[in-house]
């Protein structure tokens, strides 16, 4: 489909905008994660695809979601064919290979009209094929996963519908990485930090999602959406690091240490929604109540030795962190038509958020042999209550081909906080306007132009406001700032869509710009021991602008498809470095040129090239410029029951050190053969990363630092697998 792209890693974009949810017949498939639907639903049951804007339901962003044409995350809804809604289908996969590689997964789907049951299971330590056909760029780290779940949907009763899922996951990741980071400071104070890390992470989770729709009559719908998420993890890490001044090369310190931690996290929430339609078309009452409780526990043991020129510093400490968050949010919206050309909307919302954070650090006691000496400088108990309320109204009217929306409102936020450790209290309050304006024009021939403006405050987190110092060691220290002002962002968006009737040509242009008053930036101070003290502060001057163009077309009666995306973005980010303002200005250009060819008789070929150029300059005189491009694709040829092909991935970054940059692409050749009745059984042999490149390198750039990283991946292995497909539709 023009404008829709599925990457080798399973991510989906529509006209350059990311898809973060996939629904099936208007209901979530499991939790709505795109990968679940891509891996477990066959294409032959799909009738059509629908796309709309993802709703945020965020009290900090009052008002309805933006129109589908505006930039932002999208939800994709898969509508099933009527003759594929009764029957059973699924698959079973098993495979093993060199280097102890193995995989086993499958799914079973039963459909009976409005009733659907799906059971899925997965176990293995190989890099997943997200789209079912394309071996992908290896994940960072070497990972083993075991998971399983069930999804049930029943909409046969017109008055009562149910959708629920349960998903259990167990993963184990071995991590080996190295990073080289330039910490930007004025003058000769900039430093290089080189780190090498080895670690092991084990994570277990249980996720339950539900949705109940009750329709007592044709005008009223009451919905309950419960969710339970339980997660615990264990981590062990060994790290070595060296820091020196960038200009002189003089070493500041070298450090080595180990850490281990365990955490337990739980989240329980319920969302209650009421939609009631009035007597007139367009008259609607919508109410929403969300209740959520989060509890987190984390215990970490850190032991390290830091060597300086004249002395050494040893750290042996145990941190115990317990935090709880209780949130209640409610929102009510009422819409009413005013004549034939106007519509009135009024909305009010209220949110309450309570945080309870207990952070204790214990030193090692040589006398007792235990960690039982409380370090009061790194311990604190902090409680806060955050309230937010909004009231706004808007009028939408039609004037010829124009649709105009004008609205305004008020938002009030107030915070009360109690520092139990220091026996101090403080409170803050903010009041802001909520202006809104949008104009859309829909001339003939499938064209639409939309221009919109809004002004909104940004939520200031409790962690940013609390006057507490938090650190896991003496080298990276974070402080809160109770004197912060609330940031306020002015945003202007424009979107143009054009679809040529009777063809597969699509053109989309979207532009956006924003300016933030009282933006929250980081003030970083380089300490005498090479450590860093970071604190949030308000700085003026944050701004950004971007433009994205997407063009799609097809040829050869749909066999050949072209999709071209080009984007450019500019941002200005203020920071403080050693008390001196050090703004960064970043300009990036990115593009993606994709060509696919499928003649339905043998060839299935795709090629994607994504060149881009990045420039960042800072007030302190640091400049970085680099070119990067990713090349991905596949070429598969089918002859009768035999299929062979190769997929490839290569990412080039001109700025990466030579020992970070892969020499050759990741090549993954494959041979498949189908046999038995209806070609139900498929045998395949795949060589993943034929040239053993283990590519996991990347660069990140910000106003405060420039960081290059490399992570070891599984590398080359040979995998033999069998896949059995079964289907029976009534």
* Amino acid 10: pLDDT: 67
User: Is the pLDDT assigned to residue 674 strictly greater than 90?
Assistant: yes
Q: What is the mean predicted confidence (pLDDT) over 442-456?
A: 84
Q: Rounded to an integer, what distance in angstroms lies between the CA atom of residue 728 and that of residue 44? A: 12
User: Is the pLDDT assigned to residue 441 strictly greater than 90?
Assistant: no
* Amino acid 70: pLDDT: 62
Q: Distance of CA 509 to CAs 13, 48, 243, 321, 444, Å?
A: 15, 24, 46, 47, 18
Among 133-142, 271-280, 549-558, which is the least confidently predicted range?
Answer: 133-142
Cβ atoms within 10 Å of 719's Cβ, excluding its own: 23
User: Is the pLDDT assigned to residue 134 strictly greater than 50?
Assistant: no
Q: Rounded to an integer, what distance in angstroms lies between the CA atom of residue 559 and that of residue 571? A: 40
67, 440 contact by CB (below 8 A): yes
Both tokens assigned to 611 = 């060149």
User: Which residue in this structure is represented by tokens 């390198």?
Assistant: 697
* Amino acid 170: pLDDT: 95
Any bridge partners for residue 201, and if so which?
Answer: 173, 235
Q: What is the mean predicted confidence (pLDDT) over 503-521?
A: 89
Cβ atoms within 10 Å of 686's Cβ, excluding its own: 22
Any bridge partners for residue 490, and if so which?
Answer: 455, 515
For residue range 479-491, what is the model confidence (pLDDT) as tens digits?
888 888 999 999 9
649, 8 contact by CB (below 8 A): yes
Cβ-Cβ contacts under 8 Å for 366 (sequence gap 6 or more): none
290, 269 contact by CB (below 8 A): yes
Q: Rounded to an integer, what distance in angstroms lies between the CA atom of residue 609 and that of residue 628? A: 11
Q: What is the mean predicted confidence (pLDDT) over 251-279?
A: 93
On the 0-12 / 13-18 / 19+ scale of CB atoms within 10 A, 424 is: exposed
Pairing type for strands 402-419 and 142-154 reads unpaired
User: Residue 35 belongs to what H/E stretch?
Assistant: helix 34-40
Confidence of residue 695 (pLDDT cuts 50, 70, 90): low
Q: What is the mean predicted confidence (pLDDT) over 468-474?
A: 67
586, 625 contact by CB (below 8 A): no
Confidence of residue 64 (pLDDT cuts 50, 70, 90): very low
**Average of per-residue pLDDT values in the chain:** 86
* Amino acid 132: pLDDT: 33
Widest Cα–Cα separation across the chain = 85
Q: Rounded to an integer, what distance in angstroms lies between the CA atom of residue 651 and that of residue 635? A: 18
Burial annotation 393-408 (CB, 10 A radius, 16+ → b, else e) = bbebeeeeeebebebe
Cβ-Cβ contacts under 8 Å for 593 (sequence gap 6 or more): 562, 563, 564, 565, 608, 609, 610
User: Residue 361 belongs to what H/E stretch?
Assistant: strand 342-365
Cβ-Cβ contacts under 8 Å for 252 (sequence gap 6 or more): 191, 243, 244, 245, 308, 529, 530
Q: Rounded to an integer, what distance in angstroms lies between the CA atom of residue 460 and that of residue 388? A: 11
* Amino acid 242: pLDDT: 94
53 vs 408, higher pLDDT: 408
Number of H helices, E strands in the chain: 2, 42
Vertex 435 angle, CA 430 and 441, to 5°: 155
Among 53-62, 256-265, 579-588, which is the least confidently predicted range?
Answer: 53-62
Coil vs helix vs strand at 317: strand
Distance of CA 722 to the CA centre of its chain: 33
User: Residue 218 belongs to what H/E stretch?
Assistant: none
Vertex 98 angle, CA 95 and 102, to 5°: 30
**409: which DSSP letter?**
E
Q: What is the mean predicted confidence (pLDDT) over 504-515?
A: 89
645, 634 contact by CB (below 8 A): yes
Q: Rounded to an integer, what distance in angstroms lies between the CA atom of residue 127 and that of residue 405? A: 48
445 vs 644, higher pLDDT: 644
Q: What is the mean predicted confidence (pLDDT) over 267-278?
A: 94
Residues in the chain: 730
Confidence of residue 129 (pLDDT cuts 50, 70, 90): very low
For residue range 377-389, what is the model confidence (pLDDT) as tens digits?
788 888 999 999 9
Both tokens assigned to 211 = 């949705």
Vertex 43 angle, CA 39 and 45, to 5°: 115
* Amino acid 187: pLDDT: 80
Both tokens assigned to 296 = 């987190």
Vertex 374 angle, CA 370 and 378, to 5°: 125
Distance of CA 460 to the CA centre of its chain: 21
Q: What is the mean predicted confidence (pLDDT) over 170-179?
A: 91
Confidence of residue 128 (pLDDT cuts 50, 70, 90): low
CA atoms 23, 29, 34, 37: torsion sign: negative
User: Which residue in this structure is represented by tokens 């094929």?
Assistant: 129
30, 168 contact by CB (below 8 A): no
Among 34-38, 134-138, 155-159, 378-382, which is the least confidently predicted range?
Answer: 134-138
For residue range 202-250, what is the model confidence (pLDDT) as tens digits?
999 999 999 999 999 989 999 999 999 999 999 999 999 999 999 888 9
* Amino acid 152: pLDDT: 92
DSSP per position, 162-176 = EEEEEEEEEEEEEEE
Any bridge partners for residue 644, and if so which?
Answer: 637, 671
User: Is the pLDDT assigned to residue 63 strictly greater than 60?
Assistant: no
Q: Rounded to an integer, what distance in angstroms lies between the CA atom of residue 112 and that of residue 527? A: 67
Q: Rounded to an integer, what distance in angstroms lies between the CA atom of residue 67 and that of residue 53? A: 6
Q: Rounded to an integer, what distance in angstroms lies between the CA atom of residue 71 and that of residue 511? A: 8
Q: Is 57 left (phi over 0), alpha (psi -120 to 50) or beta?
A: left
For residue range 526-584, what is the model confidence (pLDDT) as tens digits?
887 788 888 999 999 999 999 999 898 888 887 888 889 899 999 999 998 888 888 88
* Side-chain half-sphere CA neighbours of 454 within 13 A: 23
718, 685 contact by CB (below 8 A): yes
CA atoms 575, 579, 580, 581: torsion sign: positive
For residue range 70-121, what is the model confidence (pLDDT) as tens digits?
666 788 888 888 877 788 888 999 999 998 999 999 999 898 888 889 999 9
Both tokens assigned to 586 = 């970043």
**464: which DSSP letter?**
H
Q: Distance of CA 610 to CAs 13, 449, 607, 632, 658, Å?
A: 14, 28, 10, 9, 21
User: Is the pLDDT assigned to residue 504 strictly greater than 50?
Assistant: yes
What percentage of residues in the chain have a pLDDT greater than 70?
92
Q: Rounded to an integer, what distance in angstroms lies between the CA atom of residue 71 and that of residue 53? A: 9
Vertex 698 angle, CA 694 and 703, to 5°: 165
Closest by CA position to 507, among listed 447, 592, 589 = 447
């Amino acid at each position: 489909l023009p404008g829709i792209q599925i990457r080798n890693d399973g991510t989906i974009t529509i006209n350059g905008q990311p898809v973060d949810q996939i629904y099936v017949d208007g209901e979530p498939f499991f939790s709505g994660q795109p990968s679940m639907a891509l891996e477990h639903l066959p294409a032959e049951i799909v009738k059509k695809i629908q796309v709309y804007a993802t709703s945020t339901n965020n009290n900090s962003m009052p008002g309805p979601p933006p129109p589908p044409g505006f930039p932002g995350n999208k939800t994709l809804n898969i509508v099933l064919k009527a003759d594929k809604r009764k029957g059973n289908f699924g698959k079973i996969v098993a495979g093993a290979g060199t280097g102890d590689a193995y995989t086993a997964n499958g799914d079973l789907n039963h459909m009976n009209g409005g009733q659907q049951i799906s059971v899925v299971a997965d176990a293995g330590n190989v890099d997943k094929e997200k789209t079912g056909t394309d071996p992908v760029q290896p994940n960072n780290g070497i990972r083993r996963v075991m998971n399983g779940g069930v999804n049930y949907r029943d909409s046969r009763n017109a008055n009562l519908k149910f959708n629920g899922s349960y998903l259990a996951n167990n993963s184990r990741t071995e991590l080996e990485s190295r990073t080289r980071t330039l910490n930007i400071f004025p003058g000769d104070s900039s430093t290089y930090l080189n780190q090498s890390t080895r670690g092991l992470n084990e994570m277990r989770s249980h996720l339950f999602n539900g949705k109940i729709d009750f329709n007592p009559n044709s005008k009223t719908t009451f919905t309950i959406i419960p969710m339970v998420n339980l997660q615990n993890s264990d981590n062990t890490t060994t790290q070595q690091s060296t820091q020196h001044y960038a200009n002189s090369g003089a070493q500041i310190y070298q450090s080595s240490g180990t850490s281990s931690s365990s955490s337990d996290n739980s989240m329980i929430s319920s969302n209650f929604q009421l939609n009631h339609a009035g007597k007139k078309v367009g008259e609607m009452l919508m109410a929403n109540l969300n209740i959520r409780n989060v509890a987190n526990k984390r215990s970490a043991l850190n032991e390290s030795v830091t060597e300086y020129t004249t002395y050494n510093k040893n750290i042996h400490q145990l941190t115990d962190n317990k935090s709880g968050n209780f949130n209640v949010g409610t929102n009510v919206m009422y819409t009413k038509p005013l004549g034939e050309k106007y519509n009135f909307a009024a909305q009010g919302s209220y949110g309450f958020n309570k945080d309870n954070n207990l952070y204790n650090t214990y030193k090692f006691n040589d006398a007792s042999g235990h960690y039982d000496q409380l370090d009061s400088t790194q311990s604190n108990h902090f409680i806060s209550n955050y309230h937010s309320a909004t009231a706004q109204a808007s009028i939408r009217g039609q004037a010829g081909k124009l649709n105009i929306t004008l609205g305004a409102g008020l938002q009030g936020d107030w915070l009360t906080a109690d520092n139990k450790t220091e026996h101090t209290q403080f409170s803050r309050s903010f009041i802001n306007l909520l202006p809104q304006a949008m104009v859309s024009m829909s001339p003939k021939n499938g064209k639409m132009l939309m221009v919109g403006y809004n002004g909104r405050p940004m939520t200031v987190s409790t962690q940013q406001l609390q006057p507490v110092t938090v650190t896991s060691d003496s080298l990276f220290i974070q402080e809160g700032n109770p004197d912060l002002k609330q940031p306020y962002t002015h945003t202007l968006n424009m979107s143009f869509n054009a679809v040529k009737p009777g063809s597969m040509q699509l053109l989309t242009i979207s532009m956006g710009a924003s300016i933030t008053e009282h933006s929250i930036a980081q003030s970083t101070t380089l300490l005498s021991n090479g450590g860093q003290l970071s604190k949030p502060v308000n700085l003026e001057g944050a701004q950004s602008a971007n433009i994205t163009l997407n063009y799609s077309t097809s040829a050869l009666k749909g066999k050949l498809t072209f999709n071209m995306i080009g984007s450019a973005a500019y941002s200005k980010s203020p920071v403080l470095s050693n008390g001196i303002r050090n703004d960064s200005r970043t300009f990036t250009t990115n593009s993606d040129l994709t060509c696919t060819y499928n003649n339905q008789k043998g060839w299935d070929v795709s090629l994607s090239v994504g060149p881009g150029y990045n420039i960042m300059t800072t007030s302190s005189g640091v400049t970085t410029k680099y070119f990067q491009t990713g090349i991905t694709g596949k070429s598969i040829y089918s002859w009768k029951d035999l299929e062979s092909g190769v997929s490839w991935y290569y990412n080039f970054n001109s700025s990466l050190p030579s020992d970070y940059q892969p020499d050759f692409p990741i090549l993954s050749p494959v041979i498949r053969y189908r046999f038995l009745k209806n070609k139900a059984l498929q045998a395949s042999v795949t060589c993943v990363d034929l040239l053993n490149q283990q590519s996991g390198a990347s660069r990140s750039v910000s106003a405060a630092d420039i960081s290059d990283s490399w992570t070891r991946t599984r590398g080359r292995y040979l995998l033999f697998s069998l896949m059995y497909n079964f289907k029976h539709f009534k």
